[in-house]
Amino acid sequence: MKITELDFLDISEYLNSNVKALVSLSKAGNMKDDFIRDVFISKFFSEKSVVIFGEQVHRTKIAVVDRQTKSPVCGVDGIFTRDKSVVLAVFFADCMPVFFYDPISEFAGLIHLGWRGISQNFVISTVSFLEKQIPSSIPSVKVVMGPGICGKHFEISQELAYVFPEIYLTRKKDKVFVNLRKVVKDHLVNAGIKEKNIYDLNLCSFEEENLFSFRRNKTEERNAAFLKLDSEK
Ligand SMILES: [Zn+2]
């Protein structure tokens, strides 16, 4: 994907024209900052929108939220909604936000995925959660894999390498790298998401200077992914 001079990426087209899906770039500032985030949100979403995000604790809990839900939602890394006035948000800096949308049931969600969540099968449990929420809709569910650190740049310790099957690892001298994008894609497909409904942005936060990267800068600053079931401002 081509990075623009803008302070955001609009990835709505990869999900559906009825939704608004955005990723903030570093030019927009640290999305963990309430003021900066509010300014960004007011540019793209109506005043009536309510922004809801999870606490993000690198586990596998998902909440279904609406505009009454208190944000941040404690202990969750996944948030889904049917409420068209809600803007879902996920923060990241090398972890990967993953967008889900079902056009039939108009159900949408975002999950925050790092190696911990992936190794706890968070992708697979998210698809199981969808099967319960929207039975028989899995064939229509669209997924966008957002920015995140790539397999060339995500070095892990030798001890951690045992967590992932060897096919996802690259060993160089005494270093081990894991291709999390490939793990996520395989988990999605194996859990039942149609391959043609998965779009991988294939954008590495470590390489792309328009994104905050914890590994590159040890920064506390965060990018954010936003998803709303309504494309209108
Ligand atoms: Zn990379």
Cα 208 to averaged position of ligand 1 atoms, centre (Å): 8
In three-state secondary structure terms, 207 is coil
pLDDT greater than 60 at residue 2: no
User: Could you give the CA distance from residue 67 to residue 46 in angstroms, rounded to a whole number?
Assistant: 14
Cα 202 to averaged position of ligand 1 atoms, centre (Å): 9
- Mean pLDDT (the chain) is 95
Contact yes or no for 69/53 (Cβ under 8 A): no
Angle between helices 122-133 and 180-191 (to 10 degrees): 30
In three-state secondary structure terms, 214 is helix
pLDDT cut 70: percent of the chain above it: 98
3 — pLDDT class (breaks 50, 70, 90): low
Q: What mean pLDDT do residues 159-178 have?
A: 94
Cα 131 to averaged position of ligand 1 atoms, centre (Å): 33
pLDDT greater than 60 at residue 148: yes
In three-state secondary structure terms, 119 is helix
Cα 153 to averaged position of ligand 1 atoms, centre (Å): 5
231 — pLDDT class (breaks 50, 70, 90): confident
Q: What mean pLDDT do residues 34-48 have?
A: 95
pLDDT greater than 80 at residue 233: no
Cα 6 to averaged position of ligand 1 atoms, centre (Å): 21
At residue 85, φ and ψ (nearest 5 deg) are -100, 0
Residues in the chain: 233
Tokens of 178: 């894991």
Strands of the sheet containing 78-81, edge to edge, are 62-65, 78-81, 107-113, 96-102, 142-145, 198-200
Cα 93 to averaged position of ligand 1 atoms, centre (Å): 13
- Encode 201-212: b = buried (16+ Cβ within 10 Å), e = exposed: bebbbbebebbb
Neighbours of ion ligand 1 (CB under 5 A): 150, 152-153, 204, 206-207
| 72 preceded by a cis bond (ω within 30 of 0) | yes
pTM of the predicted structure, to 2 decimals: 0.96
User: Could you give the CA distance from residue 119 to residue 102 in angstroms, rounded to a whole number?
Assistant: 25
Cα 88 to averaged position of ligand 1 atoms, centre (Å): 26
Q: What mean pLDDT do residues 99-128 have?
A: 97
Q: Which of 186, 202, 180 is nearest to 11 (CA)?
A: 202
The residue assigned the tokens 């995500």 is 154
Among 3.60.140.10, 3.40.50.300, 3.40.718.10, 3.90.1640.10, name the CATH number for the domain at 8-228: 3.60.140.10
